Amino acid sequence: MSFDVDIRRAIGDRTIAIAFRTDHPLVALVGPSGIGKTSILDMVAGIASPDRGHIAINGDILFDSDAGINRSIAQRHAGYVFQDRRLFPHMRVRTNLLYGRRTGMAVDMDDVLDFLGIGHLLDRWPSNLSGGEAQRVAIGRALLSGPRFLLLDEPLSSLDRHRKSDILDAIDQIRRRSPIPILYVTHDMGEAERLSAMIVTMTDEG
Amino acid sequence: MSLKVSLVAVAFSLPGCFFIAWMLARWRFPGKLLVDALVHLPLVLPPVVTGWLLLLLFGMNGPVGRWLWDVLGVTLLFRWTGAALAAGIMAVPLMVRAIRLSIEAIDRRMESAAATLGASRLRVFFTISLPLALPGILAAVILGFARSLGEFGATITFVSDVPDETRTLPIAIYAAMQMPDGESMVTRLAILSMILSLGALMASEIMVRRIARSRYHVI
């Protein structure tokens, strides 16, 4: 089972809830802005905790309120690509990319630089990158940390059409190279279909 | 003398100030308001009162002063170390305030991003939080140093005026003013004091700018 998620969290007077179980390696969470898609990713990554429920990815239990399991952010090994990218502003691209790297990792640095096309950006500061470049660096940083699963939060937002297809190609590459589960958040159904993902639609009180 | 006193004052109060600033910025605990008020006390108390309080604490009959003398055989009274203590205490409110603001300005999202990359809390602190707070810490050092250089009231109350020991620039100027023919001395010291202060401020400003230009940008 690549994803087994059933969580619920009250934020103010709203409740964000979602449940899905699947063997599909790529799940797209689709729903309008503000419905709580990012909150779901934060809960899967461990940045926020659900009120109750469970999260298991590839059989690995990350959270289970009944069993009292709540693994720390660092222990979950999520490859989280944030919508706002969150590249560290005081580090060059190279240092950003190497931040999550540990010795003995299977992911090959040159390979990732190559298929993302970011090899020439290593000595730049994040502030000097275009939107598409920053997005690819953010994806690269997540991949190089040797994640057990990927969380992509609206990776195509704020990119022009040409850049969008670049990033989609990169995601296809990732799926071909490393069979880790991917949870992909978008408000655009077309994107989800283009990736032939399993689609989970979020609605109010979903 | 002034330079030594101010440098020591800032160097020793910096870690404590950082800790208090972190506590005030990040932690929630009972009595936080009281700690906040205590930290700002030297800013609003007449410096003479601060000096008098130090005297009560660190004097030969004060609890801390007696312990220092009995156990370590040292006293801060009439010593330059005492002057540094007084200057350090007077600098605390300004330094804590500057550091606290910079800690509050750290983007917490950067810290959670670092955690998802497998960084421990300690590593997040040293590689993300501390570097991002650096401009504020440097600003705190400048402010604290400038405040220490000018410190007069608490110092003269606590360690009085001992030539070659506690005679910092402001105290030397004051002493020279008391002397019948001290006018040229006052002028010389006042000019020295202005050069010193201006130089320190400009050096720090250049330092901050250099760091800010090459490393700090908003994405």
Q: Does the beta-carbon distance from B219 to A74 stay under 8 Å? A: no
10 Å CB burial of residue B21 (0-12, 13-18, 19+) is buried
Q: Does the beta-carbon distance from A82 to B113 stay under 8 Å? A: yes
Distance CA B215, CA A21 (A): 45
Half-sphere exposure of B205 (CA within 13 A, CB side): 7
- In degrees rounded to 5, what are phi and psi of residue A87? -70, 140
C-alpha A152 chain-centroid distance: 3
- Amino acid identity at A57: I
pLDDT band at B219 (very low <50, low <70, confident <90, very high): very low
Neighbouring CB atoms inside 10 A of A190's CB total 9
Q: Which domains does chain A have, with CATH numbers?
A: 3-201 (3.40.50.300)
Smallest CA-to-CA distance from B42 within B97, B90, B96, B99 is with B90
DSSP B151-173: --HHHHHHH---TTTT--HHHHH
pLDDT digits (tens, 9 = 90+) for B40-78: 999 899 999 999 999 999 888 888 888 888 888 778 888
pLDDT digits (tens, 9 = 90+) for B9-34: 999 999 999 999 999 999 988 888 99
State residue B210's pLDDT score: 64
Q: Does the beta-carbon distance from A47 to B131 stay under 8 Å? A: no
Q: Write down the ipTM of this complex.
A: 0.88
pLDDT digits (tens, 9 = 90+) for A9-48: 998 888 899 999 999 999 999 988 888 899 999 999 999 9
CATH number, domain containing residue B169: 1.10.3720.10
CA-CA distances (angstroms) from residue A149 to A56, B55, B64, B155, B176?
11, 62, 57, 61, 73
Sign of the alpha-carbon dihedral angle for A156, A159, A160, A163: negative
State the total domains in chain B: 1
Chain B environment of A82 (Cβ under 8 Å): 109, 113
pLDDT digits (tens, 9 = 90+) for A68-94: 999 999 999 999 999 999 999 999 999
Q: Does the beta-carbon distance from B115 to A47 stay under 8 Å? A: yes
Per the prediction, chain A carries an average pLDDT of 89
State residue B213's pLDDT score: 53
- Amino acid identity at A156: L
Of B113, B120, B127, the CB nearest to A86: B113
Per the prediction, chain B carries an average pLDDT of 86
**pLDDT reading at B207 higher than 70:** no
- Residue B99: domain span: 2-215
pLDDT digits (tens, 9 = 90+) for B107-148: 899 999 999 999 999 999 999 999 988 888 888 888 888 888
